Structure 1
Amino acid sequence: SQFGGLASLAGINLGGGGSNQTIIAKEVLQSRAFLTKFFHRHDMEIPLMAVEGWNKKSEEWTYDRDKYNPDKGEWLFDSDGETYKPTDWDMVEAFREDHFSVSEAKDTGMITVSVKHYSPVMAQQWAEKLVQDINEHMRKQDVEEAEARIAYLEQKLDETNIAGMQQVFYQLIENETRTVMLANAQKEYVFKTVDPAVVAEEKAEPKRALICVIATLLGGMLGVFIVFIRAFIRSGRAPSPESSGTPSPAAE
């Protein structure tokens, strides 16, 4: 637009920047700072670090009682007196490694957020909250930045008496005000949910069919290996003709 050059000099982007915003949001979603706040906001310490199973019938967690006492709600100590209570670093590492992944389809650009947990209900809730929180985080950030730019432009507007410059500032303020309005009006600000998270009815892992196949293959290989070993041992024990008790004819 006619105001694009001045806006660029002022460090203001008049374009949508949708693709860049999505890339930034994807990286923020996986960042240590965002995940740490996410854990504390949703009280994830216990279900993330103290749970080791899920009772489907009673719909209750199974706790690792060597590390956590659910009856008293206390973390235990190891033999050296160190607490098993996880740090923020521990929780981020565990979540990234065992529970959370973000993938992007190269052909469509669609982003998939996957969450695993012993409790399928908990996995579904975490997945939904991750998308909700990253949308709210990016919305809040953009609104705060736009409001800061509006304040800056209004200050510059008060400092000039040139009609042409005033028109430019009014246009820039209008654009930033539109940004704030649209951000507050959109429920799904960056990521729009195409396929909502659902409670899984089947275990994601361990894959029992794969385990059975691997176990069968390993069992067969082990059986063949044992047969070869036994055959080798027997061949080593078999007496040779030279060491047998058969007398050889004496030379005359």
Structure 2
Amino acid sequence: MEPQKEHPQHYLPYPPHAQQPADDEIDLRELFGALWKGKWIIIATTFVFAVGAVLYALSLPNIYKSDALLAPAESSSGGGLSKMAGQLGGLAALAGVNLGGGESSQTDLAVQVMKSRQFVEAFINKHDLLVPLMAAKDWDLANNKLILDEELYNPTTGEWLREPDGLRGATPTAQEAFEVFSKEVLSVNQDKESGLYTVSVKNYSPYIAQQWVNWLIEDINKVMRERTIAETSQNLAYLNTQLQKTAVADMQSTFYKLIEEQTKSLMLAEVQEEFIFKVVDPAVVPELKDGPKRALICVLGTLAGIIFAFLIIFTKFLITRKNSEHESA
């Protein structure tokens, strides 16, 4: 007679119809109960955060943005020079003459020059913008003047008062001014569909914002015009020298065409003020502020208070639950 086999269920720690205890599961009713008990913590924390956000938003000064809409000037493409570049590009390159890469390359170069450290430093020095750029903290609407931070700069003596930090002394360096100007003041954007450019400047004063936009457009046109004049003058001198050295008629004809196009480019650069950019829509004094977004700051501050209060209550709930489990064990 075979021994009776025990049913496999006899070796199970729990009957098949029973569920294992889940000590780590959170009872939602307990959690909602904890939230209800901590409602005053939620209200108080949210109130504190909301008031703090409002006070912070009100303490921020208004920022105004002025912008101008620009179009690439016809002279930036070189006129007939770009067409000649396609026909004579190989010979010009052989002769060591740069005929230019057309409208897009010249305007793109001008944008990069405008954002460059060298141009920004020269722009700040030329118009004496270091103090309004680095020491201003607000704008006096009644008197139409910037309010300077006298902890950084003494307007009476013209002395910078900040503490030196490493290689950066009391007076802001050119690198500091460039960082502030490029990150917080200037922005240049292109509309890919229309090809037009927007140059924008932010400042505490709407009048200063408009003035700086106008100065930027004038200066970039002047810088690019002077570069073209210097380059074409150098090209003409080189072409004339090579023309005197060759006796081949075909090469002389090619040099004459190159000289003609370089002369046209030089004439356009010398007479045209809006050499790279033409102003489609000039900068105006903005009547409304661009920032800060005070309503958004208040909303985000209130939400942060609610989340922080929930975290406090949830943490207290978990700690209390752990302690009760240890006591029951």
Q: Give the TM-score taking structure 1 as reference length.
A: 0.83
Superposition pairs for residues 175-186 of structure 1, below 5 Å?
175-186=261-272
Superimposed CA distance per residue, residues 202-236 of structure 1 (whole angstroms, 9 cap, x where no aligned partner): 22221122123223323443455566577789989
After superposition, the C-alpha distances for 1:84-139 in whole angstroms (9 at most, x for unaligned) are 21111110011112212222233333322221111111111111211221111111
From 129, 146, 149, give the equivalent of 1:61.
146
Is contact 2:206–2:285 with CA below 8 Å preserved after alignment?
yes
- Residue 191 in structure 1 maps to residue 277 in structure 2: yes
Residue of structure 2 equivalent to 1:72: 157
The letter of the residue matching 1:138 is M
3-state SS of paired residue (2:198): strand
How many Å separate the matches in 1 of 2:169 and 2:222? 35
Alignment partner of 1:204 out of 251, 272, 290: 290
**What does residue 91 of structure 2 align with?**
6
CA gap of 1:167–1:234, structure 2 versus 1, over 3 A, is: closer
Q: Is the 8 A contact 1:75 1:83 kept in 2?
A: no
Task: Determine which of 52, 57, 60 is the counterpart of 2:137.
Answer: 52
Q: Which residue of 2 aligns with 1:98?
A: 184
Q: Retained in 2: the 8 A contact 1:138–1:189?
A: yes
CA distance in 1, matches of 2:266, 2:242: 20
Alignment partners' CA distance in 1, 2:300 and 2:117: 36
Residue aligning to 2:304: 218
- Provide the C-alpha distance between the structure 1 equivalents of 2:216 and 2:280, rounded to a whole number of angstroms: 15
Q: Provide the rounded CA distance (Å) in 1 between the counterparts of 2:187 and 2:88.
A: 41
Which of 219, 236, 242 is 1:156 aligned to?
A: 242
The percentage of counterpart residues that share the same residue type is 46
Aligned pairs for 1:219-234 within 5 A: 219-225=305-311
Q: Does 1:141 align with 2:141?
A: no
Distance 1:170 1:235, change over 3 A: closer
Equivalent position of 2:16 in the other structure:
none
Aligned to 1:173: 259
Question: How far apart are residue 4 of structure 1 and its match?
Answer: 4.2
> Are the structure 2 counterparts of residues 219 and 4 from structure 1 closer, same or farther at C-alpha, using a change threshold of 3 Å?
closer
Structure 2 CA distance for partners of 1:230 and 1:146, relative to 1, 3 Å: same
Q: Which amino acid aligns with 2:163?
A: D
Distance 1:15 1:63, change over 3 A: closer
CA distance in 1, matches of 2:321, 2:250: 103
Residue number in structure 1 paired with 2:70? none
Question: Larger relative CO (CA 8 A, sep 6+): 1 or 2?
Answer: 2
Q: Rate the CA distance shift 1:95–1:165 in 2: closer, same or farther, 3 A.
A: same
Q: Which amino acid aligns with 1:117?
A: N
How big is each residue's C-alpha offset from its partner over 1:53-109, in whole Å with a ceiling of 9 and x where there is no partner?
111122121111111101111112528898421111110011112212222233333
The structure with the largest alpha-carbon Rg is: 2
Shift of 1:150: 0.6
- Partner Cα distance (2:143, 2:191) in 1: 38
RMSD: 2.9
Note closer, same or farther for the CA distance 1:180–1:105 as it changes in structure 2 (3 Å cut). Answer: same
| Residues 233, 132 of structure 1: alpha-carbon distance in 2 compared, 3 angstrom cutoff | same
Deviates more, 1:72-81 or 1:86-95: 72-81
Residue identity matched to 1:198: V
CA–CA distance in structure 1, aligned partners of residues 88 and 165 of structure 2? 66
- What is the aligned partner in structure 2 of residue 245 from structure 1? none
The more displaced of 82-91 and 28-37 is: 82-91
